Structure formats: structure tokens, C-alpha cells
Structure 1
Amino acid sequence: MDNDYYVCTGCALLCDDIGVEIEGGKLTKVHTACRKGVAFIKGCRHPLDSTVKGERTDVDLAVKEAASILKNAENPLIFGHANSSSGAQKIAIGIARRTNGYIDDTSSFCHGPTVEAIIESKLKTCTLDDVRHKADVLIFWGSDPANSHPRHMSRYSYFPRGKERQRGWEEDRTAITIDVRKSDTAEICGKNGLYQIPVKGDTEFMEALTSALSGKVPKTSYDFDKKRLLELAGILKKAKFGVIFAGLGMIYSLEDFEPLYRFMDKLNSVSSFHLIPMAGHYNMRGFNENLFKETGYINRVKFNGAEVLHGPEYSVVEALRKKEVDAALVIGADPLSSLPRSIVRYLEEIPLITIDPCQTLTSTKADVTIPCALVGVESGGAAIRMDGVEVELKPMVETDRLSDEDVMKRIMEEL
């Protein structure tokens, strides 16, 4: 067994205690990783080939064709990035700027508002290491880490024995699930740990809980046990270090973040609470922070000379829906699988470039495909964990494929 430890890029936890066994230059066994991590680390069942217009070619020609497409486009779209190294993301931003392009990522339709609020210091946050060592009250709100991030509860949140939580989940931690269903995470939290709310009931529950924290009798239009709500408020008030793990169940339910801001402000006037977005892709947070440093925005950007335009009209969804882009480069994403067909079918009508280690539905429709190494397995780099901590990545095995950063660098050079 290799004596080094590696980072798993299977999700945004970026677990850094992964052991591997390598024979004949090939990875044969993976230790410590969860089921998702093992599947990811073992690599692609169908690796991507270098192609131009469906014909196999070498990487050099594919890179030249990709650069030609971007040069000839008036409004190219550079999209994806959440499964890309930070180095590749930074070059992608440079390519978008040079080509006066649109640039956006998957946070545009998931955790973007949460990450943006944290970066702008509108929401109090902490690190996963703080959670492991200090947290005594955990709220899984609209999230189900037992399935989405299988090592979350065992490595960071509920089960670990931290420096200030030596007695662990048995005595030192209280876990609560707020969700529309009884998830696997709710099962772990126990029968008294689930606060089940109706679909789209998050805002009302949040406001009722804010009232309860203020000592008022909470009111909800749906039938919810007020005594239980007051008991929950009592638990939150007693927390020494509380953490809310915000999932898409919460994010998609909120029409705006004002109720969340009011709730967190009230919580922190009577206790100490932090919020961490349950990002899925391993470096979505990295793209948000890299773009923010460059432009002051985390996503939905359009470059226009020296001007930086920003707004919902520059999102990947709107740009494709309105057919305002005339070429697209997709890296580290598969929009034909993840976005509505009515929107993404337009990608099949314009010149499309895909950069990925694996074949995807999007790559099958691309005019140019360029394979890259699997980050964290075949190439190194850096990524930013869901809690904002930067993590260095090193390769587990060698490959002759270019890293995603090198592919982007070569396209930039051709431009």
C-alpha cells in the first residue's frame, strides 16, 4: 500500500485521508473513501477521446479547433468549472475576458446565493474542523448528507470525538433534521430529531422559529406542534457552537434570503450559530471565490471589453434560453444531463467544445472534445472545500493526459 495520503475529489468534503494501492502503475484498491469516493477515484468507465466533428484526432488539433471556435464567436459561453481545478478555473476566467464571453457555473442554479452571502459576510460561517472539534448542536436543513456526502457525519459533524466534544454523539452533540421527508439523515438523528415541514414551508417555519427565539408563541398556517417548536428554540438557545448545514431543500424553497438573515441574526443574538452550504461538486466554492476575486461577482458574468456585466440575464440558463451565445466551452460539467432539455438543446445548434476526463451526454453532441486528467487522481492542483478551506491536491497515479489546467493554458495560448 502507498504510504501517502491523498485527497478525494468525489465531493466538496475533499477528505484528505485516502489510502490507495497501486500495482503496475494502476490503482487497484482504495481505502477510507466512501462509496461515492471509491467510484470516482477508480475513474471513468468510458474515457473521453480527442475528437473534431466526431473524428478522432490528436490533442494539438483539437486545441487549435477549440481556439478557432472561440476566436470566431462574438458571444461565447464558458460554463462548468465546479469539477475543475482552481488553476483551470482562473485560466477559464481569462479566456472569457479575452473573448468578451459569458462565464457561469453550476452554483448559478444551486448554492450560489448561499456562498455569495458568506463571501460578503452576510452569514456567519465556520470550518468543518471547527464543527468536528466544537459543535454541540447540528441542524441538517433541507440536506441529507447520509446520501449526498456519506462521510460528513462520521468524519466532521455528528459522530467524531473532537477536542471539545470528547463524548461525541452520545452526550456531546444534538443532531436535528428539518426537512419535507424522513430522510436517511433524519433516521440517524432519531425520532425526536426530525421536524417535518410541508413543501415550500421553510420560510414560514423559519419565521415561526424566529418568533419562538424571541419568546413569542410561534404561528404557522400548517398544523405544527407549537410545543415542539418552543422546545427546539430552547435547544438552539442553549447551543455553545451551533451549525446549520444548508441543503438545496432549503435554498430552493426560499424566495429570498431575508427570512434566513433575520433568523441567523436572531440566533446569534441569543446563541452562537454558523452556516455551511452543502455544496456537492468538489470545487464549486473555488470557482465562486476565484471569480469574486477577479470581478466582485461569484457567477453570472459577461465581459464586455473592460466592463464586467452581472445579473440573472447573464446566467447560463438565460443565455441559452434566449439564444444569446454563439459558441460554448463546457469544462467539468454535463449540462445536457443536468439542465432542462428545452433550454440546453440550443447547445446542439452552436459550436460546442467539451473538456472532461469522461464521456458525457454533452460530449456526445460536441464539435470538439478534449480529454483531460482526472483531478486529484491523475493530476494535482488546488480546490476549495465547501467550508472555504483551500486544499492542495496531488496525483495518485501517472497519466499521459494533460491536466485540465494545461488544456486551458494551451487554448489560451492559441487565442
Structure 2
Amino acid sequence: MVQRQFPRPLEILDLMKFKKPELPGKKRRLAQALTIYDLRDIAKRRTPKAAFDYTDGAAEGELSLSRARQAFEDVEFSPRILRPAADVDTSTTFLGGPSALPLAIAPTGFTRLMQTEGETAGASAAGAAGIPFTLSTLGTTSIEGVKAANPDGRNWFQLYVMRDREISYELTRRAAAAGFDTLHFTVDTPVAGARLRDKRNGFSIPPQLTLGTVINAIPRPWWWFDFLTTPKLEFASLSSTGGTVGELLDAAMDPTISFADLDVIRELWPGKIVIKGVQNVEDARKLADLGVEGIVLSNHGGRQLDRAPIPFHLLPEVVREVGKDLEIGVDTGIMNGADIVASVALGAKFTMIGRAYLYGLMAGGRAGVDRTLQILTTELVRTMKLLGASTIAELEPAHVTQLQRLIPRARG
């Protein structure tokens, strides 16, 4: 028989410790976010639909994005037992410089639209975390502004080859003069992808007020207050080139871009050059023969060609073919530190995040970006410990099995 007694209040109080409330709403909100998807939920609540969908959406049926994320979820890890990993060192070196993580923040356009701190928040957070930050040609903070926000960190510049080539050449010179160490020559945007969410939302830069946007803004007054009381939203590095936003967007996409353009940019750029947007082994092999320093396997976050190849699936074969000749990065679909671990184990020297960073930005500005990097770092370290890997160099292909859902049919 169980002996019972009347509850004693003092004993109950000893077992219960009430957590002190955290009064600042932002701090509490971000602390409660345990995953990147939690940050996404906060961002969706706090950001007008058109701006959120511009970030969250992809091209056409959004199959490229969903497949890329699914590919990371379809990973089976193979841990090594009895290998002490009490202390994990996540630091590494890629593209000629150190990084605290095998991770960089990817280039994103219109970033101040999502939250007014924009690239300044991203660059300063990257600098504090000891990882590179990449500024887009279509960024809303200037090259010089990013350098000021991250004066001692690694800054990269992503280049679109504009129809007016001299604009691209001048941007290349400015980034070099500002001390950016790596240029990402982007090759997957000959024309703009069909981003249907934007069309359905009537999305425009700058946002135009309609009855729908006003109704959507009512529960989000803080976003509109920030938007209306901060400097004009514009392509900061292109603000002196003339033309409307639409004209600049059209000029940024050029179907005549070729290897000849790469030759010109290589003559202008004194640092490392990475080709961003590689989507097959043959192109990777040709670029290795040309002597570029690196490539990024990417389908532009699923925002260009829908049903494009899945970068993470391409990774093992590309590493086998050219991994000894150039450094390979991968982006699209990374939402967890375990995704970073899997990529590095299969041979990637670095990974890049775009949406994950922007979800944090929309959720809480600079503090939200810091939270994104904290979450990913925690997940990365925990995964490495569970695998029995103490350093990045100890991660190897045997740690990862890519489970297959989409198996190509034999060509007849």
C-alpha cells in the first residue's frame, strides 16, 4: 500500500520555481524561438504579407525550394560511438580566410524592405559571429555602408552583370576599393523567374498602398512606422545610375551574359572569384579548368528555374569531380545546423543562408539575426557531438546517407 499524506505547501514550493518574467517583448519573443521555423512564424506575424511572401516565396510552383529543403530532411546520419567530443571546434578556413563556422550570409535583394535595419544588421551580426557577409548588387545598403557596419570582418560582394556593363564594372571597382575579399559572379539569372506570390500580392518596390495593403498593415503598425520614418528604400549601390526601380531590375537580368564577361571581371577583381549558381557537373568541370577559386552550387533559393537541380544532391558528384581543384559552397534550403553538418561532411567547404537570416531579421532586426546564428550554431555543435566529431575536418562522407525520394528514370 502507498502511504499518503496531506500536501505540505512548503514542500510544493520547493519543487516549483517560477521563472522571472522577461519584460522586453523582443528579447522574450526571440528567446522563445528554438528553430529557424520558429523565427519564420514570428516573422510572418510581424511583417506585411507582400514583404513576407517576397522573402518566403519562390518561382512558379515553388518545387525547387521545397525539394531542396526536403533533401536536407532526407538525411540519415551515421554517428561514431565512444569518440569523445566534449569540446567542438567549428572554425574553418575557406576562400583564403578564416571563419568561425562553415557558413556565410548569402546575398539578398531589397533587404531593408523586410526590416529597416537591413544589410546593416546582417553585416554587423556576421562580423560579431566571425563569418562572412555577402552584399547583393540589388542590396539596399551601399558597399561603403556594409563596410562601415562590418569594418573588421569578411565582406563579399555578389555581382549581377548588368545590360550596361560599365555599371557592373564600377561596382566591382568599388567593392575592391572597400576591401571586400571575394566576389560572387552570379550566373543563374539571365531572366527573372516567375515569382507568383509577388504577382498575386501586387508586389512592388517601393510598396504601393492599396485597400488590401492597408487592411494587412492594421495589425502591423510597427513595420509601417519603421518604413515611413527611415531613409527611402532604394538600391543603394545603384542609386546614382539613374532609372526607375523597374528599369534597374530589368537591367540587372541579361540573357547575353557569357564566359567573355567572366574574363573581363577577372581582370578587374583583385581578390577571390566564386561562380554562384552552378547546377551541373559539366559546368563545374569547365570552371575548374578556367581556374576560378570556387563555385556555389545553388538554384537561387528556388527563385529562378522551378524544377531546377537540387544543390545538395549535386554536391557529392561535384566534389568527386572538381573538389581538389576549387572550393565548393552550397546554398538553398538550409534551415538547420544539421544541414550545414551534412553539407560539410559531403565535401562542401562552406554553406550559405538567405531566408534563414531574413526570418531572423524580420523577427527582430539585428537581435533576430544574432538569434538565427545562435540557433544554427547550437544545432551544428550538438549534431557534431552526437556524431563524435570534434572538428570540422573530422566530418566525412561516411557520416551521411542521402535518402532518395526522387530517383531518375532511365532515359530511353
- The answer to whether TM tops 0.5 is no
- Which structure shows the bigger proportion of residues in strand conformation? 1
Q: TM-score, normalised by structure 1?
A: 0.31
- Which structure shows the bigger proportion of residues in helix conformation? 2
Q: TM-score, normalised by structure 2?
A: 0.31
